[in-house]
Structure 1
Amino acid sequence: MRFLIPALVLWLIPCCTTKAAAFDLVAREMSRILQNGHYARLDFDDELSKRIFNDYVGDLDPSRLYFEDADILKLGQKYETELDNMLLGKRSMAAASEIYGVYKKRVIERAAVVEQLLKEHEFSFTTDEFIARDREDAAWPKNAEDAKNLWRLQLKEALLAETLRRQEIARRAKEQGKKNPLKDQPDAKEKISQRYERFFKTIEGADDEDIANYFLSAVARAHDPHSEYFSARELQQFRVNIQNRLVGIGALLRAEDDGATKIEGIVNNGPADRQGELSLKDRVVGVDSKNDGNWVDIMFMPLDRVVEMIRGEDGVEVALKVEPAGAPSGETRIIVIKREEVTMKDELTTAEIIDYDKGQDKMKLGVIKMPSFYFDPEDRAVRVSRDLEILLERLKKENIDGLAIDLRGNGGGSLEEVRRITGFFVGAGPVVQIKMTNGHIEPLKSPFRKPLYDGPIVVLTDKGSASASEILAGALQDYNRAVVVGESSTYGKGTVQQPLEISRFMPPLANRERAGAVKLTIQKFYRVAGSSTQKLGVVPDIILPSVRDALEVGEKYADHALDYDKIRRAQDLKPYNRQNLFITMLTDKNAKRVSENKDFSYILEDTERVEKRMKENKVSLKMEDRKKEIAKADLRRKSRNAERLKRFAEIEKQDEATFKMYRLTLDDVNLDQLPEVNLENDSQRHMRQAKDEVADLDDTPEWPSGVDATKREGLSILRDLVGAVKASKLAGVLERGD
């Protein structure tokens, strides 16, 4: 199975009693897989060894706060050009462990410095001191004294930021007549201490499997940004992300600074919900993964380990020791829940119908929201193309005039799924071209003779639209089948990955149970017009302002990214007539609306401010300066909120007089009458989530009708397109052609 996934997202997942695999052997087999199977076919030589070394120490200490200059020099002299030989010689874990051991030693030393400074040092916020906002390219600390001064500045910034945050929250709570949600929390120093304590304990508690994970991840990513090593628990999470289901209790967890794990959400009608005892904001402090009396204290345990313990086999009970929300400190109770399969319905494809049923320009628009291109290889009924086909059939039954496909934030998924889905809109023909490492090019074609939907389409994209999303958006653009609207480009990932379980390549008698997997880049993909999306992404037909244009987001900023190139156009590509998209007319109307839109004006202002801040790369540690910055931001916020409250109220009235919005999920498709969108109820439809009292103080007005500025402009463009298509059909000038 081939996948196109740039990133994994942890949704819910120390202790693993299973014996660790022989990681020297795992490392050798993974290296051989990369040598023989990676698209770039990199030589295992001194150059690659240097990459691996630099990536490993950089991953461990990205802000250069722990290692000292002498550490890097000494370790580099010993290992920088030897890791390639050690990997292939089944002796790399000694190097990985030694490097991690030096890192751990420095972490313990910095922990002592943090404790001493927080207890004894009097931090002054009246002097003109600054700290770098981004230390990725900073020098390593020269020695312990240099590191101590660096940590003094780090703690000073953390304390200043926490103090100012608390003051701002207290002020907003008072202004809004609400209780200060931080009133009963430990003071700022204690909060910072807890935060670092959790991190330090994680580093100190790392076992051989963790160290192997850190090191082998660096080995894989030295080849390209999307080649990854998965530990056993990460492989489990990868499967969850692809399949959109898991076996567990149906709860969303969050790590707390004080070491506990808090219940942030409970899936409606899931195992925990039906059992009935677990409540939002309960704090989990212990887990008995088989309900057999073997309790594990999970205080300060990494969240992924906690989740791994709570997940398990279908039908097997797990016991949780919890401190109930609102109970006196120290009070605990035991809750036993039987694990079951849980479908992550919030991550399924959904739709809306926007019925403009008033005035002269009556029309119905469909909106498809696809969070990912999910696919369950164990159950072919669970796949995004099946879900989308069901939703499209209902949208057609509702006689929609146009369709918006929202791919914002969609990081990719199954190559086969995007091939099928593209065929829903273009019918017969090539969808994407795949290039092998030997130069052979294979076109992947739509499996359908005719499109399932042949009406006007707008595709919404952003910097988070990656991989499979870029195949779909790029194909629809190359076929002149849709107008692509969004940020300046998509992510820019143009490679295909294949996950391989390393245990399959290990000798029969080796301990293979927790060997993990490698997801390696095996191919590059190209648009049917011949261009790669690698580094370039898909550039929309109509570009909307975005603050992310000021940030380093995308493949072109990633280390070791493969290069952009082009190949020939697919032979069987038969695009529609581009004139049928009316790009010039749509662009002109869009430009006028954007120039008059206050929200896009705010975005442009914010973009300029972020660009300046990124360029300066420094943060003042002077209380007076920071308060001035906060005062300016607060004045800007209040001014914008006042303007928006008035304007949004008018827009809301116009919306009520202009259209109705209907919800369409897989649970709704067979209803005679689709339910109207209810923003408050729909947000809690699949999962009840704990109220964030701090976030509740954010008084920024909600988007009118729940439609953000980009989506609203995308719908306006779609309405313009539908109107132009209807007018052209009446005039008899719409036709297909090259």
Structure 2
Amino acid sequence: MEKNAPFSVMNMHSFRWIRLTAFSALAAAAITSCASAATDFNQVGKQMSLLLQNFHFSRKEFSDELSTKFLETYLRKVDPNKIFFTQQDVDALKRKYGKELDDYLMSGQMMDAAQAMHALYRQRAMQRISYARDLLKKGGFTFDKDKSIERSRRKTAAWPKDEAEMQQVWKDMVEEQLLSEILRRETVARLAKEQNKPDPLANEKPAEEKLLMRYERIQRNIQETDLEDVAETLLSAVALTYDPHTDYMGARQVDRFKISMGTELTGIGALLGSEDDGSTKITGIVVGGPADKSGELKLNDRIVAIDSDNSGEMVDILFMKLDKVVDMIRGAENTQMRLKVEPADAPGQAKIITLTRSKVPLKDELAKGEIIELTGAPEGRNRIGVLSLPSFYADMEGGDRRCAKDVKKILERMNKENVDGLVIDLRSNGGGSLEEVRLMTGFFTGNGPVVQIKDTRGNVDIKSAHNRQKLFNGPIVVLINKLSASASEILAAALQDYGRAVIVGDESTFGKGSVQQPVDIGQYLPFFAARDRAGLLKVTTQKFYRVAGGSTQLKGVESDIQLPTATAAFELGEDILDYAMPYDQITPCTNYKKDSSIAAMLPVLKDASAKRVEKDRDLQIAREDIAMMKQRIKDNKLSLNKKIREQENSALEERRKSINKERKIRFAEMAREDATKYKIYRLTLDDVNAKELPLADPEKDNEQFMHLAEDPTAELDDSPEYPSGLDPELREGINIVQDMLKLESSGK
């Protein structure tokens, strides 16, 4: 089971596979008759190129300048760290393909260029990795140099000018990886000794051998690349050159995309991970799924072979790409498959497990809530709801699982429980369905415009909510961070523009203000062409704007009250992406009314929050962490000297220990205070019709939907958990809602 979280917004109301209207019935027959034929990716490339130029918001036509950018995007995609191609390779590719890729695409000869470029990439990758393996086998690393390498080569490094410079890059890189692995093992061994626990890494293979296996996996993955992968890499690079959210997805990626928009899949209900030794490990088991019900498959078991259709023929999956392993495990409902497994408690002893696939609900991806009852608060103003939404999901296969429908159930139960104020947690919510966010906004604003959509011709369509009245009337805080994107930004922006919520968190959200439309390329291929593996073009056709007229593009939604969040230290957001579309504004909607009460409250709310943040030790630690991380990113250096690295690690370890020591004492006191201050009720979709809501139990509730394997070193991490499952940002969000309730009650 593999889940992606795309930043795409889909107009699910108008979502459809775009089809040719003529000959539709005959085309369906042609698909069936040609299903077994090989897909002609030259035709796929040609049709995608036409669709891209005609459907994309920019209507940008192919040119020599754009063709050069196609190649640059391709090179960043296959070699982002500049560790495979030399400058000589890059120059040669530019001379041959720089101004010609658009011609290859439009003339239906794309695969000539795609296969030739991939062949060079494969040759160089095999050459570099073989060199790295030779270095590891030869040994002789001393780790005593007065030398540093770049932590990240993506933006700052130039292409190595020749083979000699490339070999030095790899020599330094291998030395750093080996040093990091040695230091990791030494740290784990030291922590285990300090805590009188066994060293969980004592029986691991030597560090050099572990890295050798890691490189072997990379080599095998490159060798497994098929024609579909080769085509997808180039076509994706072409699409991404138009903007960061326009993309080509091959057939396998389309399946994963559909799953990412929904909340269930058909399979065995197991979360998989790749191991350095080439095996695939069970890292999670979905509660109630086939793997869980059978009881035969355990956490940390290793899958070494798969009989996907229970035909009696096992396929060795050693070093196979994880996505292809996942594809083999998925299948039709009620079909059987067999796994060859090495149990975690009996390594080297294989057994065969037969499982029947079924629909597996991913309940941890669904909307959920909590109700926090505040003791000591005024009667009738003492209940705050927390609504957590991981994504704006919608079943793309016509099912009835939709997040607006689920959120409505939770809000209705919150109303029944007399919730006074609400925290909506959109942190790290990457978006989803435009239709779902339209419906959901109306729960809080009532009837009125939600978002404006502009197409390439400048036509503006206003998407409105048609709720006669609000479903929730109380004060609202929306928690956001830099990973809150797309549909999250539509909801946050609308609630801010209506004066319905205080936005709290990072400086701003991600900054994605565009709408993508999926186009089934197979429907545009020649009449008798095989089209079942043609893939999909996800193309930006529109931009969306706030009801107040501004775009969320690049700027995102700015917080009313900023907090030091975990994501603040990292370079995240639309503004750092290649070919991001510009910010602009359009005319504001006239048929909406902004509530002025929050604007009046805001100075008081900001002042009260600032005073709490200054006294909140955890938020101050977060500020220190952010400053340290930003400096580390700016310095962009990793020493190859073991003594220097040990000193750096020792300083970090001492800081960690000091913080943990202080937190253990403080968290114990907080837990005692929480017990008298809060009564927290769980409100999942399974609880909405319960006679009485159960009390929340963070430890047990985390295992309610999926059992997760622990990292073998996890027990050595003595960092205490935040009491009551309430992290500092969420606690401050609750505090701000309390402040709003108090101000409302006082009539000020």
Please, what TM-score do these two structures have when normalized by structure 1?
0.95
User: What is the letter of the counterpart of residue 431 of structure 1?
Assistant: V
User: What is the letter of the counterpart of residue 75 of structure 2?
Assistant: V
For 2:312 and 2:112, locate their aligned partners in 1 and report how far apart those are by CA, in whole Å: 36
User: What is the letter of the counterpart of residue 503 of structure 2?
Assistant: V
Residue 14 of structure 1 corresponds to none
Residues 581, 481 of structure 1: alpha-carbon distance in 2 compared, 3 angstrom cutoff: farther
Equivalent in 373, 376, 388 of residue 369 of structure 1: 388
Check if 1:706 corresponds to 2:725.
yes
Runs of 5+ consecutive residues of structure 2 not aligned to the other structure: 10-34
Q: Contact 1:61 / 1:67 at 8 angstroms: preserved in 2?
A: yes
Residue 264 of structure 1 corresponds to 283
Residue 364 of structure 2 corresponds to 346
Q: Say which is worse superposed, 186-195 or 371-380, in terms of deviation.
A: 371-380
User: What is the letter of the counterpart of residue 255 of structure 2?
Assistant: Q
Residues 724, 327 of structure 1: alpha-carbon distance in 2 compared, 3 angstrom cutoff: same
Check if 1:120 corresponds to 2:138.
yes
Q: Contact 1:358 / 1:659 at 8 angstroms: preserved in 2?
A: no
Residue 6 of structure 1 corresponds to 7
Residue 231 of structure 2 corresponds to 212
Residue 561 of structure 1 corresponds to 580
Check if 1:54 corresponds to 2:55.
no
Could you give the per-residue CA deviations for residues 390-436 of structure 1, whole angstroms, max 9, x where no partner exists? 01000000001101100001000000000000000000110000000
For 1:296 and 1:23, locate their aligned partners in 2 and report how far apart those are by CA, in whole Å: 27
Runs of 5+ consecutive residues of structure 1 not aligned to the other structure: 9-16, 734-738
Residue 187 of structure 1 corresponds to 206
Counterpart secondary structure, 2:451: strand
Could you give the per-residue CA deviations for residues 334-353 of structure 1, whole angstroms, max 9, x where no partner exists? 11111111111010000000
Check if 1:611 corresponds to 2:612.
no
For 1:404 and 1:690, locate their aligned partners in 2 and report how far apart those are by CA, in whole Å: 31
For 1:576 and 1:407, locate their aligned partners in 2 and report how far apart those are by CA, in whole Å: 22
Residues 471, 414 of structure 1: alpha-carbon distance in 2 compared, 3 angstrom cutoff: same
Residues 665, 548 of structure 1: alpha-carbon distance in 2 compared, 3 angstrom cutoff: closer
Residues 373, 572 of structure 1: alpha-carbon distance in 2 compared, 3 angstrom cutoff: same
Residue 12 of structure 1 corresponds to none
Check if 1:23 corresponds to 2:41.
yes
Residue 513 of structure 2 corresponds to 494
Could you give the per-residue CA deviations for residues 514-568 of structure 1, whole angstroms, max 9, x where no partner exists? 1111111110000000110101000011011135333210000000000001111
For 1:38 and 1:427, locate their aligned partners in 2 and report how far apart those are by CA, in whole Å: 33
Residue 485 of structure 2 corresponds to 466
Counterpart secondary structure, 1:582: helix
Q: Contact 1:131 / 1:621 at 8 angstroms: preserved in 2?
A: yes
For 1:482 and 1:309, locate their aligned partners in 2 and report how far apart those are by CA, in whole Å: 46
Could you give the per-residue CA deviations for residues 231-286 of structure 1, whole angstroms, max 9, x where no partner exists? 11111111111121111011100011110000111111111112221111110011
Residue 642 of structure 1 corresponds to 661
Equivalent in 725, 731, 735 of residue 716 of structure 1: 735
Alpha-carbon distance, 1:19 to partner:
5.8
Q: Say which is worse superposed, 262-271 or 367-376, in terms of deviation.
A: 262-271
Question: Structure 2 matches for 1:236-635, cutoff 5 A?
Answer: 236-329=255-348, 331-358=349-376, 363-579=382-598, 582-635=601-654
Residue 90 of structure 1 corresponds to 108
Residue 141 of structure 1 corresponds to 160
Equivalent in 657, 670, 688 of residue 669 of structure 1: 688
Alpha-carbon distance, 1:18 to partner:
6.7
For 2:5 and 2:473, locate their aligned partners in 1 and report how far apart those are by CA, in whole Å: 27
Counterpart secondary structure, 1:335: strand
Residues 20, 595 of structure 1: alpha-carbon distance in 2 compared, 3 angstrom cutoff: farther
Residue 157 of structure 1 corresponds to 176
Equivalent in 174, 180, 186 of residue 167 of structure 1: 186
Check if 1:81 corresponds to 2:82.
no
For 2:723 and 2:619, locate their aligned partners in 1 and report how far apart those are by CA, in whole Å: 15
For 1:242 and 1:579, locate their aligned partners in 2 and report how far apart those are by CA, in whole Å: 34
User: What is the letter of the counterpart of residue 85 of structure 1?
Assistant: D
Alpha-carbon distance, 1:75 to partner:
1.0
Q: Contact 1:373 / 1:468 at 8 angstroms: preserved in 2?
A: yes
For 2:490 and 2:250, locate their aligned partners in 1 and report how far apart those are by CA, in whole Å: 29
Alpha-carbon distance, 1:7 to partner:
6.5
For 2:704 and 2:417, locate their aligned partners in 1 and report how far apart those are by CA, in whole Å: 23
Q: Say which is worse superposed, 675-684 or 176-185, in terms of deviation.
A: 176-185
Could you give the per-residue CA deviations for residues 480-515 of structure 1, whole angstroms, max 9, x where no partner exists? 001110111100000001112211111221111211
User: What is the letter of the counterpart of residue 515 of structure 1?
Assistant: A
Could you give the per-residue CA deviations for residues 610-637 of structure 1, whole angstroms, max 9, x where no partner exists? 2221222111110010011011101111
Counterpart secondary structure, 2:424: strand
Alpha-carbon distance, 1:143 to partner:
2.2
Alpha-carbon distance, 1:322 to partner:
0.8
Residues 149, 7 of structure 1: alpha-carbon distance in 2 compared, 3 angstrom cutoff: farther
User: What is the letter of the counterpart of residue 178 of structure 1?
Assistant: K
For 1:4 and 1:564, locate their aligned partners in 2 and report how far apart those are by CA, in whole Å: 24
Alpha-carbon distance, 1:5 to partner:
4.4
User: What is the letter of the counterpart of residue 80 of structure 1?
Assistant: G
For 1:123 and 1:233, locate their aligned partners in 2 and report how far apart those are by CA, in whole Å: 42
Alpha-carbon distance, 1:697 to partner:
1.7
User: What is the letter of the counterpart of residue 132 of structure 1?
Assistant: E
Q: Contact 2:441 / 2:450 at 8 angstroms: preserved in 1?
A: yes
Check if 1:103 corresponds to 2:121.
yes
For 1:359 and 1:665, locate their aligned partners in 2 and report how far apart those are by CA, in whole Å: 25
Residue 11 of structure 1 corresponds to none
For 2:215 and 2:530, locate their aligned partners in 1 and report how far apart those are by CA, in whole Å: 36
User: What is the letter of the counterpart of residue 230 of structure 1?
Assistant: M
Aligned-residue identity in percent: 46
Alpha-carbon distance, 1:134 to partner:
1.4
For 1:89 and 1:433, locate their aligned partners in 2 and report how far apart those are by CA, in whole Å: 38
Residue 149 of structure 2 corresponds to 131
For 2:178 and 2:37, locate their aligned partners in 1 and report how far apart those are by CA, in whole Å: 42
For 2:124 and 2:102, locate their aligned partners in 1 and report how far apart those are by CA, in whole Å: 26
Could you give the per-residue CA deviations for residues 576-620 of structure 1, whole angstroms, max 9, x where no partner exists? 124566111100000101111111211221222122212221111
User: What is the letter of the counterpart of residue 6 of structure 1?
Assistant: F
User: What is the letter of the counterpart of residue 337 of structure 1?
Assistant: L
For 1:547 and 1:272, locate their aligned partners in 2 and report how far apart those are by CA, in whole Å: 35
Q: Contact 2:502 / 2:598 at 8 angstroms: preserved in 1?
A: no
Residue 16 of structure 2 corresponds to none
Alpha-carbon distance, 1:4 to partner:
11
Q: How many residues align?
A: 718
For 2:51 and 2:508, locate their aligned partners in 1 and report how far apart those are by CA, in whole Å: 33
